[in-house]
A and B are shown apart, each in its own frame.
Chain A
Amino acid sequence: MMKNLIKSNTVIMLIFAAVVLTAPMWTAPIGANYPDLLQKFAIFGIFAVGYNILFGLTGYLSFGHAAFLGIGSYTAVWSFKLLTMNVVPAIILAVIVSGIFALIIGYLSLRRSGIYFSILTLAFAQMAYSLAYSVLTPITNGETGLQLEQQDPRVIDSMFGVVVTDGLPSTNLFGTLMSGYSGFYVAAAFLIFAFYISLKIFRSPFGMKLLAIKSNQTRMKYTGFNTKPYLLTAFIISGMYAGLAGGLLASIDPLAGAERMQWTASGEVVLMTIMGGVGTLIGPLLGAGIIKYLENIFSALNKSELTEIFSFMPEWLQTIVVNISNVFVGEGWHLTLGALFMLIVIFLPGGVMEGVTKIKDFILGIFGKGEDNRTAEIEGEAK
């Protein structure tokens, strides 16, 4: 009874919302409670949660999802330029446009599976990236990136008589500026919404079908089941999530560049998902948080700060530790990322979430409840 209550959608969503909205408080001890980073947590969380709907449920490894993020960003910035500085139309348009692109790319790429699918998505994304840099410069503004200008038309804004006289206008949500903590709360609201949809999908017959495709697509086809529409739907949904993330990125900082579409950016979301735990609900969020945290904190550290951190040690030890750890911070934070990544894949293939489960089982095992708990859980699922 108690177990079922904890696992119900409402309770999960309440806990999740509470955790997300109080993030500025509980991230304070680890030095991550500044708005810039919190916004990134939320936005890349959305990206990873969406990616997980495709990769986690169907097992199709896409290497081109950053393209949708980039398309979402460009759309949002164009909406700011042409329509209004309000973020709502921008985000809606970003989701719709990236959904359309996901439909086209997904339709073509899903004709193949396995690595052929991965390479097809990679090829499409790289094409989008290269074109954004070269031929599509009128739309994307090439290397400089798409930016706002004071003399942009902004049709809807000017209808309501909003006139910008000096400087660039800023993005807003019906008057609330999108910078700082308010930007984070808007992104967090979208994250909670996105997580809710993902939870519903995971627990729906649709989600079950996607899982069945992952475990044995051939068998699904033998039963006379057409898998293609389901795969395509999953692809479009995750593309729209990426578009939403892109739109939010542009809403907080109205600037869109092609480098958001590069394959390394696509690789990053794969890393986030795997690091957190593929196919788990909360894992991708954790992965996004860990990677963005490391990126921001580790890359900002330098030698003098390290000396301060390790100042409690005896001097000879301090010198050694500082010199060794200096390699891993600042410009070398990628080294940390690579090492962490290898360790996780080698020892915890299920990502951080597998580690959590192992620890949980271990603790329950101490109290002799491990096995009972398992069976109870399985019975609960069956009901």
Chain B
Amino acid sequence: MDAILIQLLNGLDKGAAYALIALGLTLAFGTLGIVNFAHGALFMLGAFCAVSFQKILTISKKVKDESITFFDAYKEQPYLEIWWGDTGTAIIDYAVPLSIIMAIPVMLLIGFIMERGLIRHFYKRSHAEQILVTFGLAIIIQEVIRHFFGANPIPTPAPDLVSGSAAVGAFFGLNENLVYPWWRLIYLVFSAAIILAVFAFLKFTTFGMVVRAGMADRETVGLLGINIQKRFTIVFAIAALVAGLAGVMYAPILPPDYHMGMDFLVLSFVVVVVGGMGSLPGAVAAGFLLGVLQSFASMTEVSSLFPGIDQIIIYLVAVVILLVRPRGLMGREGVFED
């Protein structure tokens, strides 16, 4: 029972990351008809927003270390600490959650520029060409990041207060010693909130209604005198933002490195296709489903029964689902079949 609960939480956590990336991918595909292979790179950029925000906060000055009296020793002390004392230390401690403030405008801007500068010219091109050009872009973004931040993962710790573990065992009335990292729980809640926010935005606002109408029939919406193009650009920026926020909050779980985007991209694509191209609920459901399945497959009991299953479970499930249900879990007819 204990192991199952832990694996369920692990799976939901991983699934949350898949679902967030897949959600953005599906948004871009459903509205603009663009297959965006650079979406993983946006996730990575989000994580590096956290890294660079942390770096900015900890810009330091060399000061004399008073605690060493034998010789003149120097240590680095962040300016924030020098100016504001304990408040400054606290701000540095909360670098990751605070970096969301920076990530929001940055990611919206990146999404906007990407759509206006590149994606816009590829609406009429074939899907293969869209895949290729965004793949090229992803390589470039990745290499630029590597150039500035190096090839090694950069540890980005969560705030001290939540870097410990929560006693989930006691909460569910199971073993007292059963604990789970706070930050992962926060990530789960955070992604659920983002997913709900995106759905609510599409469902309950006029803007969202127009976007949904545009997804269903772009031409008619255009004929009604609505500038659907402009709205779709904003939707693309939102998709970039969702990926970026997923990345920011994932930084304490997995120290960001330059190719983390690619690692997630392939899996997210499998998730999107399993969910059904162009279906938002499908993408979210498939994300959580595959995340949970993956973590259950990695349990020792399961992998001793079917050796190697943890490595291939996602792909195996994808193959089975695609062979049984031609358009994924919730795909619509006629989308992306030519």
Taking CB atoms, residues of chain B closer than 8 Å to A267 are 135
- Across the interface, A131 reaches (CB within 8 A) one of B121, B129, B146, B311, namely B311
Residues of B contacting A164 in the complex (Cβ-Cβ under 8 angstroms): none
Using A116-B273, A338-B140 as known contacts, say yes or no to A123 and B318 having CB atoms under 8 A apart: yes
A334-B143, A341-B135, A345-B132 known; A126-B266 Cβ under 8 A: yes
- Kindly state the separation between the CA atoms of A113 and B326 in the bound complex, as whole angstroms: 9
Contact across chains for A134 and B133 when beta carbons are under 8 A apart: no
B218 at the interface (CB under 8 A from A): no
- Nearest-CB residue, chain B, relative to A61: B128
Is A124 interfacial (CB 8 A cutoff)?
Answer: yes
Q: Are B338 and A114 in contact (CB under 8 A)?
A: yes
Decide yes or no whether A335 CB sits under 8 A from chain B. Answer: yes
Contact of B312 among A112, A127, A264, A345 (CB under 8 A): A127
Which residues from chain B contact A192 at a C-beta distance below 8 Å?
A: none
* Complex CA–CA separation, A108 to B146 (angstroms): 39
Q: How far is B144's CA from A332's CA once the two chains are assembled, in angstroms? A: 9
Number of chain B residues close to chain A: CB under 8 A:
43
* Chain B interface, >50% SS class: helix
Whether A115 is near chain B, meaning CB under 8 Å from some CB there, is: yes
**Closest chain A residue to B338, Cβ basis:** A114
The contact string, 1 if C-beta is below 8 Å from chain A, for chain B 261-297, is 0100010011001000100000000000000000000
Indicate whether A123 sits within 8 Å of B143 (C-beta atoms), given known contacts A115-B35, A115-B277. Answer: no
A-B contact pairs, 22 of them (CB 8 A): A61-B128, A61-B131, A115-B35, A116-B273, A116-B322, A116-B328, A116-B336, A119-B273, A120-B323, A122-B270, A123-B322, A124-B319, A127-B319, A130-B308, A263-B266, A274-B128, A331-B146, A337-B139, A338-B138, A341-B132, A341-B133, A341-B136
Per CB-CB distance, the 10 closest pairs between chain A and chain B, nearest first, are A338-B139, A135-B308, A130-B311, A341-B136, A342-B136, A123-B315, A335-B143, A338-B140, A345-B133, A119-B273
Residues of B within 8 A of A (CB): 35, 121, 125, 127-129, 131-133, 135-140, 142-144, 146-147, 151, 262, 266, 269-270, 273, 277, 307-308, 311-312, 315-316, 318-319, 322-323, 326-328, 336-338
* Residues of chain A at the chain B interface (Cβ within 8 Å): 61, 108, 111-116, 119-120, 122-124, 126-127, 130-131, 133-136, 263-264, 267, 270-271, 274, 327, 331-332, 334-335, 337-339, 341-342, 345-346, 349
